[in-house]
A and B are shown apart, each in its own frame.
Chain A
């Protein structure tokens, strides 16, 4: 097949094809950016949620966990941890988080270890609020079940 294609044709396919792809992708990007606020409940990002996201980042949580399936695959998915551990009750989830974070690392031999991050009570609440907000993002019904 390559005998019939000349170098000039190949070059035109490259320039034309890439330009076409870039234009489509740019268009879709604009539309996506417009839809994200609604799909993610952008108006519910409180100061506490934003602070929780920052704590998520500066403690490198994504170095072990996944969030909406992205991250490391060493520790549980956390985009739906509010549903899994809080059962939809915000107050219950925040107090669960206080207990869980304080108990790390668990002593069970051989079990994967989560470090102790020494977060304040307020910081743990922020983290919990970030995870509650995340659980309500419309992510096309992912994951398949509650285990993440």
Chain B
């Protein structure tokens, strides 16, 4: 580690991993509720479990992004972080707000939570992924502003690289688009239209810039490839991301009351969205093939290549499956959407966090060449358990989705009702649960790799 202030990344990474365990746990609770509708009712109704599951996901990714940024920006800028103290304060404020919000979801009925937090003064609650009380949303804005100030000052005062500039662009975009979370019009169509400004333009827009920057940083470090080369690839990837992704928001505007032209504009633009992910696969593998050094931390490169492949599968392939309007007409809002969501989030945004954590954590623990061989072999087992588990979850949900469409959506007459269809799908949900448990075992194995003892130095 070149700069002592990089150490502030550590609590961010650790907390992100703890939240990930919580996220998976609530995923499994819902997996059980899909099989037995009475499970944990009325203690944890499905909507509460889902809110905890998805909000933990978002918050853990934000913690991971912040940790990654605090780790890589000083090294790229060749100077200490502008204010390590602010970074620690930001951590505690964000962690406290996050924990309080999750506890609020779990222990207070949602309508009461809205009342307690004065939602009526500035209503923002009750929309998918943006369930946080308004006060929490304001807290997020303050935390993100403090974070961007800290990072921005470091970048401005230090060496500017393509990686830091792209990263900062992504982070500023993240902050700007979040502001649409405060716009909640009475008209449901208008509400939905701008809701996607947060959700789609985050996940299929600016977050990909952040992902590309983190991936590039790790690739430079573990392959030793020239920066010229890395920069060019990074520009190409994010160019394709924004060209396809911004107008590609249109694939959400097919059936929510927005004009017809989105049917073809959204289809065409989003059909190109797999391309940046495909480039990312070529990028990771060709940089690995051209590597000038053989880094002892093999796992960091494994995660980097895994991120590219799984993001391509989840976001690219599974996204393309249902992105064309005539197909989406039947798949919209089925288990197929859930299949895509799960693999895309895991492949792109969870695995990139594993990539940077796998690279940075050993260094922060004084192991410059990565963890010992035994720890890396345990980590590799965790890698495969989680990857295969998530692929299993995705395939099961895909089968469920297709079956659901055949029973409920396709028939012109004699279609089964939603509830009757879901009852038919229970065997598939059992398979999904088994693979979900495999992901949990994978995560625990991965956690264990942190505690494998280093061999005594000769």
Contacts and interface: CB of A to CB of B under 8 A. Distances in A.
B393 interface: no
A62 B188 CA distance: 13
Contacts, number: 228
A110 B235 contact: no
Interface string A59-71: 1111110111111
Given A11-B235, A33-B193, A138 B257 contact: yes
Contacts of B455: none
Most chain A Cβ neighbours within 10 Å, of B128, B188, B242, B255: B188
Interface residues of B, number: 81
A119 B447 CA distance: 45
B453 interface: no
A102 interface: no
A113 B30 CA distance: 12
A74 B51 CA distance: 13
B256 A139 contact: yes
Say whether chain B's binding surface is mostly helix, strand, loop, or mixed: helix
Nearest to A51: B186
A66 B333 contact: yes
A29 B263 CA distance: 14
A138 B186 CA distance: 17
Cβ-closest 8 pairs across A and B: A63-B47, A57-B126, A69-B333, A142-B255, A112-B37, A10-B235, A14-B239, A69-B332
Interface of B: 30, 33-34, 36-38, 41-42, 45-48, 50-51, 110-111, 114-115, 119, 123, 125-128, 131, 184, 186-190, 192-193, 228, 231-233, 235-236, 238-240, 242-243, 245-247, 249-250, 253-263, 265, 329-330, 332-335, 337-338, 408-412, 415-419, 421-422
22 contacts: A6-B232, A21-B247, A24-B247, A28-B261, A32-B258, A39-B257, A56-B126, A60-B125, A64-B45, A66-B333, A69-B255, A70-B192, A71-B128, A76-B419, A112-B37, A113-B42, A115-B45, A134-B188, A139-B256, A142-B329, A144-B329, A144-B409
Interface of A: 2, 5-7, 10-11, 13-14, 17-18, 20-22, 24-25, 28-29, 31-33, 35-37, 39-40, 42, 45, 49-50, 53-54, 56-64, 66-77, 105, 109-113, 115, 117, 134, 137-140, 142-148
